[in-house]
């Protein structure tokens, strides 16, 4: 890998946790951690740290893949993750240790084995959320507008699944969103997704405070239904429905599993298996949606 080209506003992680790039000047960058601490540091140094962390996860993932099915589950040296705790559940929490390199992010990443992508975790700066994405794709452009996987906590639930956004600004790229819609327009793909949503009790919704649509879309047989406070709307084509949303509204679309806190905390470290398993299942959708320049 070559040195990362840092940009203002990017979010990264080093051993101290998630940080945001404030300024870029020649070979140095000014970064800010979630506790408000700032530092001016060499861009090359931070690039090496990020790549070293990523390579360690990739090494463990490769080692796991080389194990026979009869072998004991290997120890994940990269991860101290033992499960999500009750205290982790907070909508406003920043700086949460469960999002760190040796937490849930790394534990899920080493369990993934996509054939042609290199999935890495990215803790969201100041939010109780982790996103997982192809390492090189994440560094290319505005990460908000890229397809990704995610896990998010609030006070009472864990949400995890596939996430893609569409900007309301004409100048912003819609490459991944358009690729997602194109994939969805194939009847076989839509049927497959409908079956996955049904069998795994997933919901499709817009997470924005002022969403493009309210309520949740679920599977009903081989069709879709939007339910909102007792009102139900049948949807013939999910792609047509999403295309009908006004272009003047930002869309934060998530296809997610929602699990209540009590069930999550009793799963312990196996919650990482649950999350990675859904990501693996949805990998064809993710792979079809990411567009490289």
Q: Is the pLDDT of residue 76 over 50?
A: no
Q: How far, in Å, CA of 264 to CA of 71, rounded? A: 27
Per-residue pLDDT tens digits for 151-173: 999 999 999 999 999 999 999 99
Q: Model confidence at 94, in pLDDT bands (50, 70, 90)?
A: low
Q: Is the pLDDT of residue 75 over 60?
A: no
Higher pLDDT, 214 or 3: 214
Is pTM, for the whole model, over 0.85? yes
Cα angle 196, 72, 271 (rounded to 5 degrees) comes to 40
Mean pLDDT of 211-227: 94
**Given CA atoms 38, 39, 42, 46 in this order, what sign does their dihedral have?**
negative
Q: How far, in Å, CA of 264 to CA of 156, rounded? A: 10
142: closest CA among 161, 115, 166? Answer: 166
pLDDT value at residue 2 = 57
pLDDT value at residue 247 = 87
Q: Is the pLDDT of residue 9 over 80?
A: yes
131: closest CA among 113, 112, 115, 109? Answer: 109
Q: Which residue has the tokens 């290997």?
A: 74
CATH of domain 53-289: 3.30.930
User: What count of Cα atoms within 13 Å lies in the side-chain half-sphere of residue 239?
Assistant: 16
DSSP string covering the chain:
-PPP---TT-EEEETTEEEEEEEEETTEEEEEETTS-EEEEEHHHHHHHHHHHHHHHHHHHHHHHHS-TTSPPPP-TT-------GGG--TT--S-GGGSTTSHHHHHHTT---SS--EEEEEPTTSSEEEEEEHHHHTSS-GGGS-EEEEEE-SSEEEEEEEEEE-S-TTS--HHHHHHHHHHTSHHHHHHHHHHHHHTT-EEEE-SSS-SS-SEEEEETTEEEEEETTEEEEES-HHHHHHTS-TTS-EEEEEEEEEEHHHHHHHGGGHHHHHHHHHHHTHHHHHHH----
Q: Is the pLDDT of residue 203 over 80?
A: yes
pLDDT value at residue 74 = 43
275: closest CA among 107, 117, 155? Answer: 107
Q: Which percentage of the chain shows pLDDT scores above 70?
A: 92
Name the residue ranges covered by the structural domains of the chain.
Answer: 53-289
Other C-beta atoms within 10 Å of 218: how many? 17
Q: How far, in Å, CA of 23 to CA of 31, rounded? A: 7
256: closest CA among 234, 228, 284, 275? Answer: 275
DSSP string covering 70-89:
TSPPPP-TT-------GGG-
């Amino acid at each position: 890998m070559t040195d990362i080209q840092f940009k203002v506003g990017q979010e990264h992680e080093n051993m101290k946790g998630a940080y945001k790039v404030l300024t870029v000047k020649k070979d140095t960058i000014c970064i800010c951690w979630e506790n408000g601490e700032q530092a001016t540091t060499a861009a090359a140094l931070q690039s090496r740290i990020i790549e070293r962390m990523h390579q360690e996860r990739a090494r463990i993932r490769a080692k796991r893949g080389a194990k026979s099915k009869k072998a004991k589950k290997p120890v994940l040296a990269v991860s101290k993750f033992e499960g999500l705790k009750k205290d982790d559940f907070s909508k406003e929490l920043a700086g949460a240790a469960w999002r760190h390199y040796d937490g849930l992010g790394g534990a899920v990443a080493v369990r993934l084995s996509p054939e042609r992508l290199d999935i890495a975790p990215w803790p969201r700066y100041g939010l109780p959320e982790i996103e997982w994405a192809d390492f090189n794709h994440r560094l290319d452009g505005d990460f908000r507008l890229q397809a990704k996987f995610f896990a998010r906590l609030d006070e009472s639930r864990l949400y995890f699944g596939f996430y893609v956004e569409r900007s309301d600004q004409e100048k912003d790229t819609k490459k991944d969103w358009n690729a997602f819609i194109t994939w969805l327009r194939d009847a076989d793909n839509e049927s497959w997704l409908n079956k996955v949503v049904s069998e795994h009790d997933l919901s499709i919704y817009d997470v924005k405070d002022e969403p493009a649509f309210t309520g949740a879309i679920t599977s009903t047989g081989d069709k879709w239904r939007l339910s909102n406070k007792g009102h139900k709307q049948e949807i013939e084509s999910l792609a047509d429905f999403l295309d009908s949303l006004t272009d003047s509204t930002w869309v934060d679309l998530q296809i997610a599993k929602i699990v209540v806190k009590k069930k999550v905390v009793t799963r312990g470290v196996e919650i990482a298996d649950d999350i990675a398993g859904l990501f693996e299942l949805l990998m064809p959708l993710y792979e079809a949606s990411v567009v490289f320049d």
